[in-house]
Amino acid sequence: MAKTETDLKAVQAYLAAVPEPARSTLEKTRAMIRKLAPAEAVERLGYGMPGFYYKGPLIWYAAAKDHCALYPTPWPIEVLAEDLKKYSLSKGTIRFASDKPIPATLMKKIVNLQVERNERKSKG
């Protein structure tokens, strides 16, 4: 799924540098996104963070000092406001505990909305 071997190595290097428990959380997050994203999605670093691209940017994820975060576009955050009310949010960011990944059912909603958005945008 990585665009190139270099992209995959860059993502792996990013994750290797993240301390536990955030590393395990991000690895679970990455695996969920990989499973949910279309087969054509590519994985690479963007904005200094690992992310997936499918007909444009799909979603990024990263570790910060006190939390982990997902970076979809603002649209799924607006659409899923009720589902996301227990998380710390900003316009394009969903922050979550370093030791607790976002549940698979919620991740599926986020990724599906992003895929739908990117497919709609790519059709013009």
DSSP track, 60-89: EEEE-SS-EEEE--HHHHHHTTTTTTTSEE
> How confident is the prediction for the chain on average, in pLDDT?
93
Rounded mean pLDDT, 62-81: 95
Quote the pLDDT of residue 3: 59
Alpha-carbon distance 76 to 110, whole Å?
A: 6
CB-neighbour burial class of residue 38 (10 A; exposed 0-12, middle 13-18, buried 19+): middle
More confident residue, 3 or 104: 104
Element containing residue 19 per DSSP (H, E): none
Rounded mean pLDDT, 67-81: 95
Rounded mean pLDDT, 103-118: 96
Summarised one tens digit per residue, pLDDT across range 55-71 is 999 999 999 999 999 99
Parallel, antiparallel or unpaired: strands 88-90 and 57-63: unpaired
Rounded mean pLDDT, 20-31: 97
Is the per-residue pLDDT at 105 higher than 80? yes
Is the per-residue pLDDT at 111 higher than 80? yes
Quote the pLDDT of residue 104: 96
End-to-end CA distance of the chain: 25
Q: Is the bond preceding 72 in cis, omega lying within 30 degrees of 0?
A: no
Domain count for the chain, please give it. Answer: 1
For residue 114, the enclosing domain spans: 5-122
CB 61 within 8 A of CB 51: yes
Element containing residue 1 per DSSP (H, E): none
Summarised one tens digit per residue, pLDDT across range 3-20 is 577 888 999 999 999 999
CATH number of the domain residue 35 falls in: 3.90.1150.200
For the whole model, what pTM was predicted? 0.91
